[in-house]
Amino acid sequence: MAEATQVKFSNPAPLGLAGFALTTWLLSMINAGWFSGDAMGMVLACALAYGGTAQAIAGIMELPRGNTFGATAFLSYGAFWWSFALFVLFLHDKVPAAFVGWYLFLWGVFTLYMWVGTFRAARALQLIFLVLWITFFLLAASEWTGSAALHMAGGYCGLVTAVLAFYLSAAEVINEAHGRTVLPIGAP
């Protein structure tokens, strides 16, 4: 009789979080006013390759692990980055700002209920989703009102979101490598 072997799947969350964090950081530097729109090309390249594709791969890797939250989050935000890149490349001047506001608002709604889904997860993950839904709502409001201050506030919230996502990605890699908690993530 053949002995059953257990397959151990790697944790795709650090990959997805890093792809999200790096791309969010780059875009948020523009939104916060640190760089002009001339830097958008690098954001788009990163959005397609890392924010979009790597997150989608992480989401697919969550499926055999049975992680509905992780699969939904990474596949959705991977698709967000693809849609963002396609919008900037092909539709930017053809879509009214108010409609872009609705796009951002609905991503905020999605993120808000995903945040509720983190209430039994690590505090670091809760904070990422908390700040992210605020970011989306600020950016949506800036599109609806034309407010540069709201746009900048959304950019700064995006920077905080990126730092939190980088931290959780690093914590998951480092803690696993050391077999103990080196970087705390806040037990649920």
Cα 134 to Cα 108, 154, 177: the distances in Å are 7, 8, 33
User: Average pLDDT in the 82-98 region?
Assistant: 95
Share of the chain above pLDDT 70, in %: 98
pLDDT in tens, 5-31: 787 889 999 999 999 999 999 999 999
Instruction: Tell me if 35 is assigned to some domain.
Output: yes
Question: In 10 A of CB 35, how many CB atoms?
Answer: 15
Those residues with Cβ within 8 angstroms of residue 45's Cβ, 6 or more apart along the chain or in another chain: none
Instruction: Tell me if 8 is assigned to some domain.
Output: no
pLDDT of res. 156:
98
pLDDT of res. 187:
85
Task: Give the predicted TM-score (pTM) of the model.
Answer: 0.94
The mean of the pLDDT values for the chain is 96
Instruction: Tell me if 187 is assigned to some domain.
Output: no
Instruction: Tell me if 131 is assigned to some domain.
Output: yes
pLDDT of res. 174:
97
Instruction: Tell me if 2 is assigned to some domain.
Output: no
Is a pLDDT exceeding 80 seen at residue 2?
Answer: no
pLDDT of res. 123:
98
Task: Tell me how many domains the chain contains.
Answer: 1
User: Average pLDDT in the 46-55 region?
Assistant: 97
**First vs last Cα of the chain: how many Å apart?**
42
Is a pLDDT exceeding 80 seen at residue 101?
Answer: yes
Q: What is the rounded CA–CA span in Å between residue 78 and residue 58? A: 9
Host domain of residue 57: 13-178
CA atoms within 13 Å, Cβ hemisphere of 70: 19
Instruction: Tell me if 17 is assigned to some domain.
Output: yes
**Residue 179: which region, alpha, beta or left (left: phi > 0; alpha: psi -120 to 50)?**
left
Sign of CA dihedral 95, 100, 102, 104: positive
Those residues with Cβ within 8 angstroms of residue 76's Cβ, 6 or more apart along the chain or in another chain: 59, 110
pLDDT of res. 188:
80
User: Average pLDDT in the 144-164 region?
Assistant: 98
Instruction: Tell me if 29 is assigned to some domain.
Output: yes
Instruction: Tell me if 1 is assigned to some domain.
Output: no
pLDDT of res. 1:
60
Using alpha carbons, select from 167, 171, 168 the residue that is nearest to residue 180: 171
Q: What is the rounded CA–CA span in Å between residue 69 and residue 105? A: 21
User: Average pLDDT in the 133-150 region?
Assistant: 98
Cα 44 to Cα 53, 86, 90, 101, 143: the distances in Å are 12, 9, 12, 20, 20
